[in-house]
Amino acid sequence: MILSIESSCDDSSLAITKIETRELIYHKKISQELEHSKYGGVVPELAARLHVEALPRILEECKEYFPQLKAIAVTNAPGLAVTLMEGVMMAKALSLALDIPLIAVNHLKGHIYSLFIEKETILPMSILLVSGGHTQIIEAKSLKEMEILASTMDDSFGESFDKVSKMLGMGYPGGPVVQEYALKGDSTRFVFPIPLKQSPKIAFSYSGLKNAVRLAIEKIDITNEQDKADICACFQKTAVDHIMQKVKKLFKNKAPKDFAIVGGASANIYLREQLETLCASHKTTLHLSQLKYCSDNAAMIGRVAIEQYKINDFVSIEEIDIQSRVKDFS
């Protein structure tokens, strides 16, 4: 069994996974959304302090499995340095105390392997990763061969939902609440320009859209719930249209046999529906993570760790480093 730890942002999570069968024996996550909501986004120092309380509390429940553990896995990149640190410190202490190896896991690989929790790996695959920190298209050939085909030039998809929610005073995280409001809104009331529409490049950008939404909010001086719903509907439509336009470009070059959406924002229903239609028309199989594994969690870290364990991809206590940003992850 492997014990895995995730603390790259505002979720404290631990999981225990069986190496041979991939079975998830234990999984718990304590979210800090409520604590950060009043600030309209994650406050790194507060997040780190909350991890200090939550991680040992969860670990207490895992003690009975300690004699069966073969390795400790932990997210070491990318994420918030101060919160990654908490998980890595716990992992080092456990590795030392139990005298078992340490596995450093890339968080983005974790999101990709969330597709394979308690399942077999299906690779190669083209993957759209949409989270609070990333918007990327990745060509995932194998555990060690992952190429970033496209990424965002500024903000990410999920982050733009968080910002719009903050502008409308609707709290954090913005994705679920903006999606909910959008359902009741008129998606034709405001016309926001689709980012990079004229550009032949497959890349993403959300800062311009964010500003367009800000200007619209200032102009109409929002007074009622319908105004909010209309803003959310128009924003969500444009944010998703932007992704779809670029994914269609990719499919036009060569439609993949297998395509997946992963990351916290892959829970977005409108995005899922649009991609389902596109994939169906190209006879591409669309793979989705279970909703409970879309946002950050330690089960996905444990799932990657099984693959790393099999190839002895360990790191020493002295060598494990924390990288808040990474350019690539192959």
CB of 285 to ligand KG4, least distance (A): 22
Residue type, 321: D
Among 175, 195, 256, 302, binds ligand KG4 (CB under 6 A): 175
The residue (of 176 and 208) whose beta carbon lies closer to ligand KG4 is: 176
Q: Which of residues 279-318 bind Zn ion (CB under 5 A)?
A: 296
CA distance linking residue 302 with residue 146, whole number of Å: 19
In angstroms, the Cα distances linking 113 to 43, 164, 237, 259, 288 are: 27, 29, 28, 13, 11
Element (H, E) at 138: strand 135-142
32 binds ligand KG4 (CB under 6 A): no
Judged by beta carbon distances under 5 to 8 A according to partner kind, the member of ligand KG4, Zn ion, none in contact with residue 268 is ligand KG4
* Residues, the chain: 330
Task: Report yes or no: 72 and 102 within 8 Å, Cβ to Cβ.
Answer: yes
Q: Which range of residues in 63-71, 130-138, 142-150, 200-208 is near ligand KG4 by CB under 6 A?
A: 130-138
Q: Which range of residues in 13-21, 30-38, 141-149, 172-180 is near ligand KG4 by CB under 6 A?
A: 172-180
307 binds ligand KG4 (CB under 6 A): no
- The binding track of 242-271 with respect to ligand KG4, each residue x by CB under 6 A or -, is ---------------------xxx-xx---
CB of 295 to ligand KG4, least distance (A): 3
- The binding track of 121-140 with respect to Zn ion, each residue x by CB under 5 A or -, is ----------x---------
Positions of E strands within the chain:
2-6, 11-17, 24-31, 71-77, 102-106, 125-130, 135-142, 145-151, 258-262, 285-288
Q: Which residue has 């529906």 as its token pair? A: 273
CB of 20 to ligand KG4, least distance (A): 28
> DSSP secondary-structure letter at 204?
B
CB of 108 to Zn ion, least distance (A): 8
CA neighbor of 5 nearest in space, from 144, 105, 99, 117: 105
Q: How many CB atoms lie within 10 A of CB 119?
A: 12
7 binds ligand KG4 (CB under 6 A): no
CB of 305 to ligand KG4, least distance (A): 18
Task: Report yes or no: 262 and 128 within 8 Å, Cβ to Cβ.
Answer: yes
Binding site for Zn ion (CB under 5 A): 131, 296
